[in-house]
Amino acid sequence: MASQHSLERPLKVRTAFHQAKWDEELIFELHKPGEVGVAVAPAEQGVAAAVPGLAALPAPLLRAQAPALPEVGQMRVLKHFLRLSQQTLGADFTVDIGQGTCTMKYSPKINDVLASSPKMARLHPLQDERTVQGILRIMHELDLYLREISGLDAFSMQPASGSAAILGMVSIIQAYHASRGEAHRDEIITTIFSHPSDAAAAAVKGYKVITLMQGEDGLPTVEDLKKAVGPRTAGLLITNPEDTGIFNPQIQAFTRLVHEAGGLCGYDQANLNGIMGITRAKEAGFDLCFFNLHKTFSTPHGCGGPAGGALGVVQKLRPFLPKPVVVKAEGEEGEGCRYRLDFDLPHSIGKLRAFWGTAQVQLRAYAWIRALGAEGIKEAAEIAVLNNNYLLKKITRIKGASAPYAAGRRRIEQVRYSWEQLHRDTGVTTEDIAVRMADYGMHLWSSHHPFIVPQPFTIEPTESYSREELDEYVGVLEQISREAYGDPGTVKTAPHRSVCHHIHHDDFDDPKRWAITWRLYQRKHLPEA
């Protein structure tokens, strides 16, 4: 009875939440000629010529006029950015498990300290290898850890994201078949609930994409795969568990069929968080895989900034990796050994980004793996699965919510839910609910395309969140469900306590109105200026 009572305890909802709204100008609009943040004294006469770095720039490198940067005092800059920070719902403010499939988790602050240390900040990728042995060692050892986690034989840290790593996998598949005189293989197979980037990357490389649809249980069938494979099959790109959170127990049969047809198998492991330390790409029969360092391995999420998609391969595909990779100098072992950049990859697909990958992201991922160890990584996956199935039980009790394809089965690390019944009953959509969530200091996202699940929303709790936080999130969903059934207008006109009121998306859908620079904004939206 005590256990049942604790499961049904009242859920907390922050009904008094109201986000700050400052009506803050753009930094360019705060510009006042002559206002400065830091007054730098000019170099004394004669010093500039004598001190390296202070000498006058050659005339061809000088601008014809000074850049149009805002002139703003230090106090105004401080207030400006602090006010902007109060108008966001970042990871350090709220429970952001509603950003499903993105594996939002806590990124230890000590790792940020490591990544921003002067030792890291002063590194340059073009330094002599002898002067950067520390970071090369970290890159190499991270490679070894990821080999152990995947079972594969070599990794490149060069891709800037998961999508870039998928493009790398497709490029390697293409180059491998070309090297064998089998360029006629022009078909890539994927599944409807794999990440859209799998199909997109294959299309970018010129492949015909064959997409297997879901069966009644939400999974593609072996029978459908048998119909799809053939002499034109170049490879399989698949996410497992898929974006429904369902793990395909027949994955070995999938990879075996593709191999028998002469294709390669690429594992999209963006959903690794619930299976790391438990299953591996090698045992599932994959030739390639990638990991999102900025998700699974707890470096801050990409969101347009630094990220990392570690790309792994079996030994026969190592010569095709982006170059260079970091290796130990031959014949050297122990603490005093040297590390070097290996460019000797005769069939390399070339570079996927500048230099050798994002060193700060690799350092954070390395520190996280070292801190947890093998048992800790497995425990993190187990807690993520426990959290997810706890939420599955709670959310499917909310009026109007469901989990298609569930049929009582447990999921792995996420679930693609549906508000279809609530929408039919009230007219309230997933987008309406997502906007209303902001009134409670929360966040909700729908899901990846395509929208096979009607009125979808995807939740991925990871291992970072406590039971109290999960309960609070469910409490908000329950509250909004009650509002939708009792007063749908409140939800459909949300947000009411956020920075902005209801937003129309017309501008977002019209590239002619997009303005990503101040100069462009002036020209498009401030013609009088």
Q: Which of 375-411 are b and which e, b meaning 16 or more Cβ less than 10 Å from the residue's Cβ?
A: eebeebbbbbbebbbbbbebbeebebbbbbbbeeeeb
**pLDDT by residue (tens digit) across 397-423?**
999 999 999 777 889 999 999 999 999
Sole residue written with tokens 């990728």? 125
| pLDDT above 50 for 3 | no
Q: Which of 449-488 are b and which e, b meaning 16 or more Cβ less than 10 Å from the residue's Cβ?
A: eeebbebbbbbbbbbbbeeebbbbbbbbbbbbbebbeeeb
| pLDDT above 60 for 28 | yes
The DSSP output letter for 457 is E
β strands within 314-443, DSSP E: 325-328, 339-342, 415-418
Model pLDDT, residue 501: 78
Q: What band does 45 get if pLDDT is binned at 50, 70 and 90?
A: low
84 near 24, Cβ under 8 Å? yes
Structure-block tokens of residue 298: 């707890």
Model pLDDT, residue 345: 95
| pLDDT above 80 for 52 | no
Torsion of CA 499, 502, 507, 508, to 10 degrees: 80
**pLDDT by residue (tens digit) across 158-196?**
999 999 999 999 999 999 999 999 999 999 999 999 999
Mean pLDDT calculated for residue range 263-286: 97
317 near 287, Cβ under 8 Å? yes
Mean pLDDT, the chain, whole residue set: 91
**pLDDT by residue (tens digit) across 282-315?**
999 999 999 999 989 998 876 656 789 999 999 9
Runs of H (alpha helix) within 229-278: 251-260
Model pLDDT, residue 6: 43
Closest C-alpha to 483, from 475, 473, 491: 491
111 near 253, Cβ under 8 Å? no
Q: What band does 40 get if pLDDT is binned at 50, 70 and 90?
A: confident
Residues forming beta bridges with residue 341, ordered by sequence position: 326
Q: What is the rounded CA–CA span in Å between residue 446 and residue 204?
A: 26
**pLDDT by residue (tens digit) across 118-143?**
989 899 999 999 999 999 999 999 99
Q: Determine the distance from the C-alpha atom of residue 101 to the mean position of all C-alpha atoms in its chain, rounded to a whole number.
A: 8
Q: What is the rounded CA–CA span in Å between residue 86 and residue 105?
A: 21
Model pLDDT, residue 92: 83
The model's pTM is 0.90
**pLDDT by residue (tens digit) across 434-446?**
999 999 999 898 8
Sole residue written with tokens 């006469």? 45
Q: What band does 2 get if pLDDT is binned at 50, 70 and 90?
A: very low
Contacts of 225 (CB under 8 A, 6+ apart): 189, 212, 254, 257, 258
Closest C-alpha to 481, from 398, 392, 390: 398
CA distances for 172 relative to 231, 315, 432, angstroms: 18, 13, 42
Which residue ranges make up each domain of the chain?
Answer: 118-368, 374-492
Query: 524-528: long-range contacts at Cβ-Cβ below 8 A with a sequence spacing of 24 or more?
Result: none
Model pLDDT, residue 529: 58
Structure-block tokens of residue 68: 């149009």
Model pLDDT, residue 219: 93
Pairwise pLDDT comparison (7 vs 486), residue with the higher score = 486
Model pLDDT, residue 7: 47
Q: What band does 47 get if pLDDT is binned at 50, 70 and 90?
A: low
Model pLDDT, residue 90: 80
Residues forming beta bridges with residue 236, ordered by sequence position: 189, 265
Q: What is the rounded CA–CA span in Å between residue 472 and residue 303?
A: 25
Q: What band does 55 get if pLDDT is binned at 50, 70 and 90?
A: low
Q: What band does 4 get if pLDDT is binned at 50, 70 and 90?
A: very low
Options 3.30.70.20, 3.90.1150.10, 3.40.228.10, 3.40.50.720; CATH of 374-492: 3.90.1150.10
Q: What band does 252 get if pLDDT is binned at 50, 70 and 90?
A: very high
Q: What band does 450 get if pLDDT is binned at 50, 70 and 90?
A: confident
Contacts of 54 (CB under 8 A, 6+ apart): 43, 47, 48
Pairwise pLDDT comparison (61 vs 110), residue with the higher score = 110
| pLDDT above 70 for 145 | yes
Give percent above pLDDT 90 in the chain: 71
Q: What is the rounded CA–CA span in Å between residue 501 and residue 489?
A: 14
How would CATH label the architecture of 118-368?
Answer: 3-Layer(aba) Sandwich (3.40)
Q: What is the rounded CA–CA span in Å between residue 287 and residue 317?
A: 8
User: Angle of helix 359-395 relative to helix 133-150, nearest 10 degrees?
Assistant: 30
368 near 111, Cβ under 8 Å? yes
* SS3 of residue 409 by DSSP: coil
Q: What is the rounded CA–CA span in Å between residue 173 and residue 322?
A: 13
Q: What is the rounded CA–CA span in Å between residue 249 and residue 410?
A: 13
| pLDDT above 70 for 44 | no
Query: What does residue 223 show for φ and ψ, rounded to 5 degrees?
Result: -60, -40
| pLDDT above 80 for 330 | no
User: Angle of helix 162-179 relative to helix 196-204, nearest 10 degrees?
Assistant: 50
Work out the end-to-end distance of the chain between its first and last CA atoms, rounded to an integer number of angstroms.
70
Contacts of 215 (CB under 8 A, 6+ apart): 221, 224
**pLDDT by residue (tens digit) across 197-217?**
999 999 999 999 999 999 888
Pairwise pLDDT comparison (53 vs 378), residue with the higher score = 378
Phi-psi region of 445 (alpha: psi -120 to 50; beta: other; left: phi over 0): beta
